[in-house]
Amino acid sequence: MHLPRNVYYKKGDFGSKEIMPDAGIEKASVVMVLAEKLLGYSGDSVDARTALAGVQAREINGNAFNILELLLRENAKLLRSRNKLHIRSWE
């Protein structure tokens, strides 16, 4: 995969203590968390994991603009209302 010089891609289990710091989040201006569609996981479970990764990224770098890919529109609405997040849906 070819990415621009200032774009970093890190794949891994965000629950692992090494993954988040290794991704360089503390220096990022934008953090994008993509939904990991795992076999046997419901859309709600995938969205919960994505939201948790977003929370962890915010704890590491509260100044970064976070973009989360959520599978279910209702979960985006819930996060928006509870966390005062700006969430845009492209559905």
Give me the mean pLDDT over the 45-59 stretch: 90
Q: Which residues have C-beta within 8 Å of that of residue 24, sequence separation ≥ 6?
A: 8, 10
Q: What is the pLDDT of residues 7-34, one digit of tens each?
A: 888 888 877 777 877 888 899 999 988 8
Asked if residue 67 is part of any domain, the answer here is yes
Asked if residue 51 is part of any domain, the answer here is yes
What region, left, alpha or beta, does residue 5 occupy, with left being phi > 0 and alpha being psi -120 to 50 degrees? alpha
* Residue 56 belongs to domain spanning: 19-83
Count up the domains in the chain and report the number.
1
CB atoms within 10 A of CB 80: 14
- Greater confidence, 85 or 1? 1
Asked if residue 39 is part of any domain, the answer here is yes
pTM metric for this prediction: 0.81
CA distances from 46 to 22, 36, 67, 87 (A): 22, 6, 15, 17
Asked if residue 30 is part of any domain, the answer here is yes
